Amino acid sequence: MSESGVESSRYLDAASSEPLHPAARASLLAALDVGYADPRRLHHPARNARLLLDNARAVVAESLGVRADEVTFTGSGTEAVHRGLLGLLRADPTATIVHSDVEHSAVLHAAAWSGRPTRSLPVDRLGRVDTTSLHPPYAEAESSRVVAVQAANHEVGTVQHLPDPPAGAAVFVDACSAMGRLPLPPHWAALAGSAHKWGGPAGVGVLLVRHRAPWLTPFPDDDRADPRATGFENVPAALAAAAALQAVVAERAEVNARQHALVDRIRAAVGALDDVDVVGDPVDRLPHLLTFSVLYVNGERLVTELDRRGFGVASGSACTASTLEPSRVLAAMGALTHGNVRVSLTRDTTAADVEAFCAALPEVVAGLRS
């Protein structure tokens, strides 16, 4: 116990932000002293910064299996989502937007801002998209489409599998929750990632635009070397993000196997409780994440009580928990929208951490229900 009476914290909210990876920390500190100059300039410090930025882009490309000229660093994952989706739309002024019912709010906000006609694809009880509605006769009236389907859901972890897109469709993938943890899905024209989700620094997004994809910048032009970027890139942070991604991909097989087993242990403990609904695909999912809903318990009170015992977890919609709004994702799945908790393990979460959580949860639930 600490002096405040709160047990030492066990952070179980990596889906919101993974702690900084040691590789990112080392690269960031080293780059701060040499990566400060504007990489567009011609003097020696600027050329050093340009080399660092080019190296970061090459490392990200190699880690993800893409071309270096397909990689752009943005100011956040949200910016990467907006640029990726809206750039595909600008390249096709007649395209409608098709997105899943469980997309991140960044996708929905960009779609609404575009003013384009939009329709959504339903999901099943596991949160998986019904891709049959992408094809005729349902979609025969749409001459062209931009289809937005996430790589894996940010709230329940279910992995999406998009088949070959229909003719006239450009696919945008929000991979912010999956990048680094899983291989990239196929078929995308543009794709977005967020560095703080894999242990890079916050404030770095990654936008991938496929070579020769129909994409045009949706915002005012900037005189940067990369036409998809705007403003002065944070070179040290980009290099740190690349270093973390490279490390995460290298250790992915071992970490994923360990986290799958730990999440299965939590799933078993949660499943032993009465009136609890575990949501999302039990197998085809992000390895580190589990969401469940507890009947007769307020989700915010559950999170607060777990936090008092030293467990940092999340509740509600991933980006609107502070508004106390029920989860739109869970509602689309037909699951309970109140009393939900999302547990997401960091790369350093141990079996002892998980056992402590499994021991505390029944006591907390029983106490709140009583």
> What residues are labeled active site?
319
Q: Provide the b/e sequence for 181-213 (b: ≥16 CB within 10 Å).
A: bbebbeebbbbbbbbbbbbbbebbbbbbbbeeb
CA distance 204 to 202: 6
**Residue 210 corresponds to which amino acid?**
R
Helices (H), the chain: 22-32, 44-64, 77-91, 105-114, 235-250, 252-271, 299-308, 328-333, 351-369
Measured in residues, the chain has a length of 370
Whole-Å CA distances, 103 to 172, 235, 283: 11, 30, 20
* Residues 111, 143 contacting (CB under 8 angstroms): no
* Residues 76, 196 contacting (CB under 8 angstroms): no
**289, β-bridge pairs:** 344
Please report how many Cα atoms fall inside a 13 Å half-sphere around the Cα of residue 358, on the Cβ side.
Answer: 18
* Residues 133, 141 contacting (CB under 8 angstroms): no
CA distance 280 to 302: 20
Cα angle 312-314-318, degrees, rounded to a multiple of 5: 145
Report DSSP state, residue 347: T
